Structure 1
Amino acid sequence: MSGFEIIGLISGILTILDTVSKLYSVVENAESLPLAFREIARRLPLVQDTLRSAEGYIKQNDADGMACAAIKPIVESCKGKAERLRDVLQEMAPGANDSRLQRYRLAIRTLGKSHRVEELMKGMLEDAHLLAGNRAVKAATEAQVGELLRAMRELSEAPPSVPDAGRSPTFAHYGTGHQFNNAGSGTQSINTSDGKQFVACTMTFGQS
């Protein structure tokens, strides 16, 4: 694995992230855009700076084959997430602002929660952190490594762009009788006759 190949991969990621930045500028005024989108826009330069630092170091120092082989999976992982983030934003970009959020939610339902913008950005930050911590490329200073860690933590605490919706129970009844459903964990007591209903844990009936 040569340094030229790694430089090519990193250059490709930077091009994709430039596209991501432009796409964000298209969708940022969408109605009710989740906070997570603004968070990824804030973190994007941090990933770009780390990649540029790694690219510059490799160009200047001609990193050896073993070092390049070690960081190749990290760079490829980052590239895959960048491509998915670009694709998700491209799904949102066409049309009016008031329909973009709906298209995003539809895309996440189709592609899965791993394609939520905050998950993809968090993954890229993790890849950038791994790259920054690799002594062979020296992609970041200690302060920058700390900034990456802080960004990962803050993004993890941000509200999800598409909430994890719990499945609600669904009941169907096509007959003519009563239907009694208890979707909770408590006890259900039903009386459909004219008589009295007594509900208790212990009952004692007797003459006074």
Structure 2
Amino acid sequence: MSGAEAFAVLGLISSVIDIIETSRQLYDAATSAAGLHEAFRAVAIDVPLVLNILRDCKRIQEQAYRELRESKDATRIRELSESAQAVAPVMEACREDATRLRAIFDKVVPGEKASRAERYQKAAQAVMPGKKRRVEELMKDMLEKLQLLHTNQFFRMATESRARDLDGAIQRLATLPPSLPDGAAGRVDYHVAGSMNLNAGAGAQSVYSQTGGSNNRQFHAETMNFGND
């Protein structure tokens, strides 16, 4: 990995910090906002821990980047390069989780208490299909990714002193009641007359047509082909 690529890893870490920092007011508001699931408060409480670890990682990567540029020792250069290469996917995953968390908090925390549950479900639907959607899952995933840093010889110190805090935060999030019911984020509700495709994704398709009385029809198709008459 070149010095430029190592610098890109430093940029990744900085990006995650910036995403969380720019959402700090939302997280602070969530600790006392009425009408929010307790998972929002749990996530907000864990934000300082995440930021402290990320800031330590940033300092470590800054030092590694300087050393990588200045060192003439091939073995040391390889070690620094391999370290940055291993950390890159961890920080990329953290950036994805932080971005999704910010999007959900931004849509749910502000505004009236009465509509927060509805806004949360809509915000969860906007998260990329197939990915974690609940706020507690996103934060837990981020903490678990940071926990992996203890296997890296350079970044181990960023998590060693906070290992107990990380374990405790992950356990608390794992034991929370789900902030959304299973399937709620991907559910399709249909309340008008006509045909309804029940499968919103890939795979077999079930179609239900309600026109009233004996004209109701339902069928299940493994393959459906559409074309012009």
What is the TM-score when the length of structure 2 is the normalising length? 0.65
**Highest Rg: 1 or 2?**
1
Deviations 1:38-72 (A, max 9, x none): 10011111111111111112223436212101110
Which of the residues 83, 102, 107 maps onto 2:118? Answer: 102
- The equivalent of 1:191 in structure 2 is none
What is the percent sequence identity of the aligned residues? Answer: 37
Q: Is the partner of 1:33 in helix, strand or coil?
A: coil
1:163 maps onto 2:181 in alignment: yes
Q: Is the 8 A contact 1:7 1:58 kept in 2?
A: yes
Please report how far the alpha carbon of residue 143 of structure 1 lies from its aligned counterpart in structure 2 after TM superposition: 3.9
Q: Which amino acid aligns with 2:140?
A: K
Number of residue pairs the alignment of both structures matches: 172
1:45 maps onto 2:61 in alignment: no
Please report how far the alpha carbon of residue 24 of structure 1 lies from its aligned counterpart in structure 2 after TM superposition: 2.4
Q: Is the partner of 1:160 in helix, strand or coil?
A: coil
5 Å matches for 1:1-208? 1=1, 2=3, 3-61=6-64, 62=67, 64-111=80-127, 114-164=132-182, 174-175=212-213
Contiguous gaps of at least 5 residues in structure 2:
69-79, 188-209, 215-229
* Structure 1 pair 29–105 and aligned structure 2 pair: CA distance change class (3 A): farther
Please report how far the alpha carbon of residue 93 of structure 1 lies from its aligned counterpart in structure 2 after TM superposition: 4.4
What is the TM-score when the length of structure 1 is the normalising length? 0.71
Contiguous gaps of at least 5 residues in structure 1:
177-208
Please report how far the alpha carbon of residue 175 of structure 1 lies from its aligned counterpart in structure 2 after TM superposition: 4.3
Q: Is the partner of 1:15 in helix, strand or coil?
A: helix
Distance in structure 1 (CA, Å) of the matches to 2:58 and 2:119: 35
Higher strand share: 2
> Which structure is higher in RCO with an 8 Å CA cutoff and minimum separation 6?
1
Q: Which amino acid aligns with 1:25?
A: D
* Structure 1 pair 51–139 and aligned structure 2 pair: CA distance change class (3 A): farther
Q: What RMSD, in angstroms, separates the aligned Cα atoms of the two structures?
A: 2.6
Please report how far the alpha carbon of residue 132 of structure 1 lies from its aligned counterpart in structure 2 after TM superposition: 3.7
Q: Is the 8 A contact 1:30 1:100 kept in 2?
A: no
Deviations 1:66-121 (A, max 9, x none): 21011101011101111111111122245323322321122224436712111110
Distance in structure 1 (CA, Å) of the matches to 2:39 and 2:159: 27
